[in-house]
Structure 1
Amino acid sequence: MRVATAGGESGLSPERIGSVRAGRPAAFVAQLRRTPVAFAFAFVVLSTALATGAARGLEVQGALGWGRSTLQTPSAWWAAATSLTVPDSAVDAILSIALALTVLPIAERLLGSARTLVSMAVAGVTALVVGAAVQSILTGLPEVSEIATRETVLDPAIAISGAVLAASALASALWRRRIRVVAFAVLGMFALYAGDVDSWFRLIGALCGLGIGMLFARRAPHRPWHRSSTRETRSLIAAIVAVTAAGPIAALISGGGRGPLSMAAMSFAQFDQHLVDRCNADYTRLCDHQAALLVTRGAGPAILAVVPLVLLLLTAWGLRSGRRAAWMLGVVVNAAIAGLAVLSIAFGGVVFVDPDNGAAFEWGLWAVSSIGVPAGVLALLIITRRRFAVAAPRRAVRAMLGIVSAAFVACVLVFFLVESLFPKAFRVRPTAMDLLDEAVRRFVPPAFLQGVGELPYPHMGAGLAVYQWIGVAFWAVVIVAMLHVYRATRHPDDVEPHSATVYRSLLRRGAGTLSFLGTWPGNAHWISADLEASVAYRVVNGVALAVADPLCTSARAARTLREFADFAYGRGWTPVFYSIHEDYLPDLHAMGWHTVSVGEETVMRLGDLELTGSQWQKVRQPLNRAEREGMTAHWTRWQDLSASMAAQIVEISEQWVADRGLPEMGFTIGGVDELNDPDVVLLLAVDAQGRLQAVTSWMPWWERGAVTGWTLDFMRRREDAPNGVMEFLIAKAALLMKARGAAALSLSGAPLAGRPRPVPEGPAEVPTLARFLGWLATAMEPVYGFASLFRFKSKFHPEYRTLYLAYADPVTLPAVGSAVMRAYLPDASPREYLAAMRSIFAGAAGAQAEGRRR
């Protein structure tokens, strides 16, 4: 039975799992020894937060002159150290400690403890000096706030930023780009929009760290980018769009912000306080609109005001996977934001605080942030439009449009009905036309309606609640519908309609022991342009799971792997190679991919097989006993079975599934449906009375058109079948296949059960994924008995061939794990999933109890 196995790279047997659990305190000590700077820095920040009162929420800014200020007002000589170790608030303390315990250990592993400490010190002190110099230069400029030029700095994240960016120079190509893009996107966002002095100092520290890292890596070998330019472009553009969305939100949260782009936030505020203040002295036609926003303010209108920004974050999510729908959404939203800014000028909705002193500078910042940024993003999207060609199926688009249209109509009707039933909520009784007009306006963020007039609005009760929340409810439906479109992909059968025939022809040219799995229903087939290579795969939740080894010559292996990855990326899928052999690992590692062991395939060599000697006694005895009792083995195909024999196979299989009370697994585990293939042979165990006792199925593999071996797949026996019937069938299969000239026979593997390996002395670091697979192996053993099946196959003294899971991006592992589970249980209902989870956790509890008894 070809199934996934999971031993993990660390050889996770039950004994190994027990040693890992017992060694957790020792593992923590080992982690502490590997990253002493990170733990020490976290301890220093915690100590200073407790000592200064920051941990209790007390104001620390400037206390005792600890914070570094401008060069014109120098601080004490020790301020450089305290500025980098003392947080100025409880929030700053929590975030700094969290960064010190998460990202700083990663940097320390890359740099080493000594270079980490140097990077933190040099980048931190340089940031303080450069930042203080800039503050001094800006002092006195009318366009710059005096608070900003004299504010002191207390922020441990400055030193952490420098160390992380320095470490990025020594990271792998994938993580080097990711660290830099994410770090500068986040740091730049806070600097440009929130604009507090600490944000600018952190950005300066990161730039210093980048230079330090380049010095550290000047002798390191060049690491080329491994990912395709298309995917690279998508990630960068998605990050840019996300920053333009999250930046104004950060400015709003920080009270409006002081960064050069913070004025963009005024377009997404619930109301314009400056305009409200001006209306007290000078009435304009915008005053009615602002007064209505002020009176009807609340959580609902506040959320509605930032809907454009939420839609931009949704756009960034889809752009990352090349979605055409996300590109269209981004174009519409950015065009609307830029258009709003232009209309604000036309309707006189732009108000500056200080028109007599620095108004031109303020107007320039407003124009750049409110018009230039969305216009620039819009131009960028248009220029790179060909990078976002992943279209959703038409049925998914039609479903989304139908849902959104129905939601719009329903919300309008609810608004009209409620406001009509509660007319006393209005001070001025609205007409039916007023309500209809206002119902449509409830879906538009308030800033987009400046200068468009104002209709009667409710002041209390259900009318006010519906007035505030009906638009939010509609946009929530829109967002959920868009996420559904993002996840929708064309059915694999629609991608390459004639690929199954080509795959079968390449299979006969030469294939691996597991490649026949690619012929099963549910798999699609990528075919190379020259028809010389193919990969079987299935798409689950946006993950393209390639099944077994690709069909290609060894000389073409690297090219085939890259071409399939590009094919998947081009459609917005995450490519993964599942149950691939070690022959392909060098090419995968050259691509920058990661691999983890997911099991061991068991292969019997048939050349000198005799079943003699003491080592074969556990197989020879059941074979001889079964033959004495009149058991016979029948080599046949499904098409040649009698109706009675086929019915017995179905009966045995159904009983096997029913005994477990859980869904039957699929993907790489065949069922009755996979038996009906002309290339698959069956070996049946029939007793002296002609009753079927057990059945096995065998999938062929070819070399130059000739069958050279067989792989065990389907394996079932009656509940009351005599002991040893499976040993009888496999032994008979081996002897029969040897007589027919087969070179080898694969017994496949058992899910989540791996070959035992020696346990190393002392605590050992076990990868997170391997630890999870080991826990799952222990937990599911009482349910499916995978480890028992694997031990059964070891009776036949097979060779072990490691199977691997290969993936490009560690961040995608949660999605990959979910896709693998869905692939194995594609038809399970929520109730069946719940039953499976209960059984798994019950098995885990039982395994822990058994371990304690031992």
Structure 2
Amino acid sequence: MRARIVVGAVPGALSWYLRLSGVVSILAWLSADWIERLLDIWVLRWIGYFGWLPSMPWGVLLVLLSSGVRRRKRAAWRITLVLLALFFGLSVLVLIAGAAGAETGLGLGDWAAAGGYGLALVLLVAARGEFGALGGRANLRLALGVFAALLVVSGLLGTTLVRLTDRDPGGGAWTQPVYVVLQTILGAGATGGTVDVAVPGWVDLILGVLGSGLLLVTVWALFRPGRRAAVLTPGEELTARRLLASYGEDDSLGYFALRRDKDLLVAPNGRAALAYRVQGSVSLASGDPLGDPEAWGAAIEAWLEDCRAHSWTPGAVSVGERAAVEYRRHGLNVLELGDEAIVDVAGFNLGGREMRQVRQAVRRVERAGYTVRIRRHAQIPAAEMAAIGERADQWREGETERGFSMALGRLGDPTDGRCVMVEAFDGDGRLRGLLSFVPWGRSGLSLDLMRRDRGAENGLNEFMVAKLVEGAATVGVRRVSLNFAMLRSVFERGSQIGAGPAVRLAYGVLSFMSRFWQLESLYLSNAKYHPEWVPRYVCFAHAGGGLMSLGLAYARAEGFLPSLSRRRLDRAANAAPSPELVAGIREIDAAADRARAPRRRLSEQERVRHAKLDRIRAAGVEPYPSASRAPTWSRASAPGTGRRRRAPAPAAPPRWRAASCGPASTAG
């Protein structure tokens, strides 16, 4: 057990060692005097035994190598193994030279350096199983291509600069390219005296920067995290919809897993799945896993294993409480992100003093002659839906369609027929605002899109929400999920009397940020309905700057920060479904409706008869063979009687007579 713990700590310890060596190398390249002063301090003399050189390219290489080691890249393990073997070999040569009677005697540090490098080499070999992250041939091809291209560019540029500025006439034509290579690799540690080259200091600086850039881009290409196109395939979408049809009541954000710019990872048992997108070096999951909550753990474990295999940092956003507990059980940290506003249709009422603000807004819009129409997307003709989409795009604030965890990213798709559209018209019949909701199971709705004409009557959004709740029975809805309020508890407690200094400070910071992003306004717009607040969480990894990496990836995914893959993601999100996919989804919805249709409760006598039929079928006998006929009746010709006389039934076939019971007994 202890050996396993030591081996498991090798990647982290080695990453720190390489990082410190790289920093020392860069500092020594910038100022040799500064590093010498540090070495004069007795406590810091251990710095001299790091594998550093006064070179910017070398320092950059070690820093980038430390990142690859931290990500447990197999290529980083190989490069580090070569470097440690080189350091160990040099240390052994120093010991041999000292033992042979060299002028410089051996110190304790020399023995410690050799022993340390030897021990590190042994531990690195023992920990080779810890470095299992897939590098990918694409990364290797990219790194080789970048290195070759930059080597040619930096070589030509550097040689030209040296040739134009060389003041030493003693060197030949071959000395200048050699000096460029030495200066590019070693930096200030190389001098031109040995190759008869004399150039100004600014030329050496440019050559060092070129060498650093060469290594920086090459090592980045080699150690970058694996890429995966975020595309929800038709098979994955059908799987997700089957899970939603069975377990869609559990999460109000479950339908947003059907965005086509997400991936889906299915648990090995097939009973749960997890929707995510690889955003840079972060595998970003959103919402709760789909499917049976008892199988969520298997889906999360498969996702984490996928992250380890590709050196991705795991993170999940907008997670419910039950899923957050499951993520925490699998080793992720959990922080509260905010609260989701959920309105119970049965308990919603515009009466009372606390609802006065909403009630006044609704009455004002009604007096202006506004009306509302509520219908499913499947009831809207295609041409009319296209016109609605155009108006929604016109009313959108900004050119970027934001959303990832709480937005579907499309409108009018034929696979979204169960979505609900709320349209508001003014007195002249013009469309002035709309709300679009996605299904939350079979009896709920979750807000997807909210758009309005800026010139419309004030309070239009409140009017549409109130009318939807009022007419919820027409679409079979019992609960409605509205907007999400980030860090709601800070806004709620910070504005109250008696709030502590920490809460007030956080409230002040968030109020300032609300000038640029809709933070406090979203909380206030939801709070007026007096909803039930349901917390949502973020889950992130312990190491590797998990929370910061998650925050940046989340901001790019939601559209708050620019992303180079935005156009590609938009194309994937708005991809048209195939007719086969549409037909498959309709079959899933029809099967779900049949499964939820109410069934008549059988009486005791009927249950006994059905059980007897099951026993007959289990014995291999058909209870109602096709040759049998129902009993027939004939009216007797006796005068004065209107009674019916049963006609003799035809003889049953021999197979039927051999059964243990006849048709009369089977019918009960």
Q: TM-score, normalised by structure 1?
A: 0.55
2:405 to 647, 664, 668: 668
2:470 paired residue number: 735
Deviation at 1:720, TM superposition (A): 1.8
Does 2:336 correspond to 1:597? yes
Q: Does the aligned pair in 2 maintain the 1:264–1:366 contact within 8 Å?
A: no
**Rounded Cα–Cα distance in structure 2 between residues aligned with 1:675 and 1:252:** 69
Shift of 1:829: 7.7
Please point out which of 174, 177, 182 is paired with 1:433: 174
Q: Which one of 509, 515, 531 corresponds to residue 246 of structure 2?
A: 509
Pair 1:650-2:390 in alignment = yes
Partner of 2:211: 474
Letter in 2 for 1:796: Y
Question: Which residue of structure 1 lines up, in the alignment, with residue 481 of structure 2?
Answer: 746
What is the CA deviation profile of residues 219-275 of structure 1, one whole-angstrom value per residue up to 9, with x for unaligned ones? xxxxx99x9999755324424544666789898663378799959749856xxxxxx
Cα 1:327–1:780 change in 2 (3 A) is same
Matches within 5 A, 1:652-731: 652-658=392-398, 663-670=400-407, 673-674=410-411, 676=413, 677-678=415-416, 679-702=418-441, 707-731=442-466
Contact 2:447 2:482 in 1 (8 A): yes
The question of whether the paired residues in 2 share the 8 Å contact of 1:423 and 1:429 is answered with: no
Contact 2:259 2:408 in 1 (8 A): no
Corresponding letter in the other structure for 2:551? G
The structure with higher relative contact order (CA 8 Å, sep 6+) is 1
Of 519, 526, 530 in structure 2, the residue corresponding to residue 793 of structure 1 is 526
What amino acid does structure 2 have at the position aligned with 1:744? R
Kindly report which structure 2 residues correspond to 1:192-203, keeping only aligned pairs within 5 A, or say none.
none
Deviation readout 1:62-101 (Å, 9 max, x if unpaired): xxxxxxxxxxxxxxxxxxxxxxxxxxxxxxxxxxxxxxxx
Q: State the distance in 1 between where 2:303 and 2:45 align.
A: 42
Cα 1:343–1:411 shift into 2, 3 Å: farther
Shift of the 239–552 alpha-carbon distance from structure 1 to 2, 3 Å rule, reads: farther
Separation in 2, partners of 1:816, 1:228: 27
Whole-angstrom CA distance in 1 between matches of 2:488 and 2:47: 59
How many correspondences in the alignment? 549
Residue aligning to 1:546: 285
Q: Equivalent of 1:414, from 152, 157, 172?
A: 157
Question: Quick check: which one's helix share is greater?
Answer: 1
Between the aligned partners of 1:580 and 1:410, the Cα distance in structure 2 is 49
1:574 positional shift: 2.4
Name the amino acid aligned to 1:821. Answer: A
Q: Counterparts of 1:635 and 1:530 in 2: how far apart (Å)?
A: 38
Kindly tell me: are residues 454 and 436 of structure 1, through their superposed partners in 2, closer, same or farther at Cα, counting changes over 3 Å? same
Secondary structure of the corresponding residue to residue 513 of structure 1 = coil
Distance 1:554 1:764 in 2: 40
- Residue of structure 2 in register with 1:147 after alignment: none
Does 2:510 correspond to 1:777? yes
Task: Verify the 8 A CA contact 1:415 1:467 in the aligned structure 2.
Answer: no
- AA partner of residue 406 (structure 1): A
Name the CA distance, whole Å, in 2 between partners of 1:496 and 1:647.
28
Question: Percent identity over the alignment?
Answer: 23
Higher mean alpha-carbon deviation, 747-756 vs 519-528, is at 747-756
Task: Report the alpha carbon displacement of residue 529 of structure 1 after superposing the two structures with TM.
Answer: 1.4
- Gaps in structure 1 of 5+ consecutive residues: 1-223, 270-301, 833-854
After superposition, what is the alpha-carbon deviation per residue over 1:88-147, rounded to whole angstroms, capped at 9, x for unaligned?
A: xxxxxxxxxxxxxxxxxxxxxxxxxxxxxxxxxxxxxxxxxxxxxxxxxxxxxxxxxxxx
Aligned mates of 1:771, 1:390 — CA distance in 2: 42
2: distance between equivalents of 1:554 and 1:267? 51
Q: State the structure with more CA Rg.
A: 2
Secondary structure of the residue aligned to 1:425 is coil
Q: Deviations over 1:585-619 (max 9, x none)?
A: 54455556443322221111224556556655555
Give the superposed CA RMSD.
Answer: 4.5
Contact 2:21 2:52 (C-alpha < 8 Å) held by counterparts: no
Aligned pairs for 1:98-497 within 5 A:
234-242=11-19, 254-255=38-39, 265=49, 302-303=54-55, 307-308=57-58, 310-338=60-88, 355=102, 359=105, 362=107, 366=110, 369=113, 373-374=116-117, 376-392=119-135, 394-422=137-165, 424-426=167-169, 428-430=170-172, 432-445=173-186, 456-459=195-198, 461-462=199-200, 466=203, 470-471=207-208, 473-483=210-220, 485-493=222-230
Q: Is 1:699–1:710's contact at 8 Å kept on the other side of the alignment?
A: yes
1:164 corresponds to: none
Amino acid in structure 2 at the alignment position of 1:547: S
Distance change >3 Å, CA 745–CA 232, structure 1 → 2 = farther
2:260 to 504, 521, 526: 521
CA contact (8 A) 2:24 2:59 kept: no
Deviations 1:755-808 (CA, angstroms, capped at 9, x unpaired): 623747474545xxx966x45531343445443343233333321112222334
Q: Check the 8 A contact 2:60/2:212 in 1, yes or no.
A: no
Task: Check conservation: 2:406, 2:448, Cα contact below 8 A.
Answer: yes
Deviations 1:669-723 (A, max 9, x none): 5376255352433222234543211111111122xxxx12111120111112223
TM-score of the aligned structures, taking structure 2 as reference length = 0.69
Cα 1:626–1:255 change in 2 (3 A) is closer
Alpha-carbon contact 1:407-1:474 (below 8 Å) kept: no
Deviation at 1:351, TM superposition (A): 6.7
